[in-house]
Amino acid sequence: MSAQQPRPRGTSGAGAVNELIEKLGVQMDPELLVLSLTHRSFAHEAGGIPTNERLEFLGDSVLGFVVTESLYRTHPDLPEGELAKMRAATVSQRALAAVARDLGLGAHILLGKGETRTGGADKDSILSDTVEAIIGAVYLSAGDGAARELVHRLVDSTLDRAADLGAGLDWKTSLQELSGELGLGAPVYRWEADGPPHARVFTSVVLVGERVLGTGKGTAKKHAEQQAAEKAYARLAEERA
């Protein structure tokens, strides 16, 4: 590891890297792994060293392709719309953050002091972005085959669950479809945010046919909207029954 390269937290720099490589089950360049763990907040405090954002960009594409191909081959009878919902559920921020937590990834991410103080190591956005960056690092370091194997190892269980989730794959889309079937028009979402920029909490309400049918809260607007849509869907489904 070069003298300029940051070290992840842990008992020792090299030990932490090797521990994470073992968890990932791949052979890869340790320096690329460390780069994949380097959040922009840490890079800024360290004088502008490279961040993991380019690797995240690459990993997002690799992840999306592998998941899409897997769904296409595994579910030959499903229409495009259902496949798209399953893909969205599998590569969502929440799903990838859960993968990161299973790996104990938060303890390895290099964060600036501010992000560390505000719990950045357990934020869905940071965890999911880091998973994508690691996938990108594996692709560059060990090739397409290793990246595919890693993606399957990380998300196959989520893919399996997605096949059984039904409406829960994407509550907003499911609510829109149901409200359309009932002749109520498209749902309308309204939201507001509270708290400082680094710790915002979003509150969303959804109106269907001019009635407020659901509310939700989350650390991201889309999470709050999904929660509100879930509650509205349940209410409309109950009324229809």
Q: How much is the mean pLDDT over the chain?
A: 88
Q: What is the pLDDT of residue 165?
A: 64
Residue 29 domain flag: yes
Is there a catalytic annotation at residue 69?
no
Annotated binding site for Mg(2+): 56, 129, 132
Do residue 33 and residue 151 come from a single domain?
yes
Residue 140 domain flag: yes
Residue 115 domain flag: yes
Do residue 122 and residue 56 come from a single domain?
yes
Residue 88 domain flag: yes
Is there a catalytic annotation at residue 194?
no
Q: In terms of DSSP H, where are the helices of the chain?
A: 13-24, 30-36, 40-45, 53-74, 80-90, 93-103, 113-117, 124-142, 144-162, 171-181, 221-240
Annotated binding site: 56, 129, 132
Q: What is the pLDDT of residue 200?
A: 83
**Cβ atoms < 10 Å from Cβ of 96:** 25
Do residue 229 and residue 146 come from a single domain?
no
Q: What is the pLDDT of residue 137?
A: 97
**Cβ atoms < 10 Å from Cβ of 117:** 10
State which residues of the chain have pLDDT below 70.
1-14, 164-169
Residue 111 domain flag: yes
Which residues lie closer than 8 Å to 158 by C-beta, 6 or more apart?
89, 90, 95, 98, 99
pTM tops 0.85, yes or no: no
Structural domain that includes position 114: 14-168
The domain that contains 218 carries what CATH number?
A: 3.30.160.20
Q: Which of 60, 170, 225, 230 is catalytic?
A: 60
Do residue 215 and residue 112 come from a single domain?
no
Q: Work out how many domains the chain is built from and give that number.
A: 2
Residue 1 domain flag: no
Q: What is the pLDDT of residue 171?
A: 84
Q: What tokens does 197 get?
A: 């920029």
Q: Which of 132, 170, 225, 230 is catalytic?
A: 132
Residue whose entry in the numeric block shows the structure tokens 């309204």: 190
Q: What is the pLDDT of residue 14?
A: 67
The domain that contains 128 carries what CATH number?
A: 1.10.1520.10
The CB-side HSE value for 79 (13 A sphere, CA atoms) comes to: 1
What does DSSP assign to residue 91?
S
Angstrom distance (rounded) from CA 189 to CA 116 = 32
> Which residue, 100, 230, 219, is CA-closest to 155?
100
Do residue 120 and residue 236 come from a single domain?
no
Give the dihedral sign, CA 13/145/94/197: positive
Q: What is the pLDDT of residue 186?
A: 94
Q: What is the pLDDT of residue 1?
A: 40
Q: In terms of DSSP H, where are the helices of 163-197?
A: 171-181
Angstrom distance (rounded) from CA 46 to CA 75 = 47
Residue 7 domain flag: no
Do residue 82 and residue 136 come from a single domain?
yes
Residue 126 domain flag: yes
Do residue 32 and residue 138 come from a single domain?
yes
Query: Which of 109, 135, 168 is a domain's end point?
Result: 168
Do residue 137 and residue 32 come from a single domain?
yes
Grouping H, G, I as helix, E, B as strand and the rest as coil, residue 61 is: helix
Do residue 108 and residue 32 come from a single domain?
yes
